[in-house]
Amino acid sequence: MKIDFTVCVYCGSSCGSNPLHKEAVRAIGAEIAKNNIGIVYGGGGVGMMGILADSAIQNNGKVVGIMPEYLITQEAKHEGLSELKIVENIHIRKKLMEDAADAFLILPGGIGTLDELFEVLVLKSLEQLEKPVIIFNSEGYFDGVISMIRKMQEDGFVSVKSGQHFRVADTVGEVMEMLKEWKIENGK
C-alpha cells in the first residue's frame, strides 16, 4: 500500500470508562487505513493505542510505532505493526513522531496525551511547526480543555492566532473530512 500522508495520533494507553470512545477510535483507525493515510503513534498494544493500531492493521493500514525502551512493559508494545522503533526516551519519541507526521490527531487519553497536545500547540504558537492539529472531541471529552484554551485567549494569555492552531471534530466523519482536506491541500 502506498502511503502519501501520515497522521501522528496521540491517545491513551488505557481505554477509559466510556465504551463509545473505544468504538470511535476503532472507526477512526479503520477509516484512516481505508483512505491510505499512514499512522505514527506511541507503539502501545493496549488501551486506545492498541485499538487504533489493531483497527488500522485489520484494514491493511500502515502503522508505525515509536516507543521508549522503558515503556515496553508498561504499555505492552504492539507486535503487529508495520514498523516499531525503540528509542531511548520520551523526548526522542515525541520528536520522531512530530517529524514523521503531516498532521496531528488527538484522541481521548490521559496526562501524556494532554502533554503531547500542548507540546504541539506550543510549537505551533512559536511558529516552529506548521502542521495541522485536530482534537477529536468524542462525546465532549475535550470540552474542558477547549474551554480552558478559549478562556486563556479571552483573558489575553493566548493570542487569537495561537487559539486558532487547532480544529475540533465531534464525529469520525468530521475527522476524516479534515484529514482528506489537508491531504489534498498538500498535494498528496
What is the band of 188 on the pLDDT scale with cuts at 50, 70, 90? low
Query: Could you report the per-residue pLDDT of 136-165, keeping only the tens digit for each?
Result: 999 999 999 999 999 998 999 987 665 578
Cell 470540552 belongs to 143
Which residue bears the cell 515509536?
66
pLDDT at 18 over 70: yes
Cell of 89: 526516551
What would the pLDDT profile of 25-51 be if each residue is shown by its tens digit?
A: 999 999 999 999 999 999 999 999 999
For the chain, give the mean pLDDT: 93
Quote the cell numbers at residue 154: 479571552
User: What is the largest distance, in Å, between two alpha-carbon atoms of the chain?
Assistant: 48
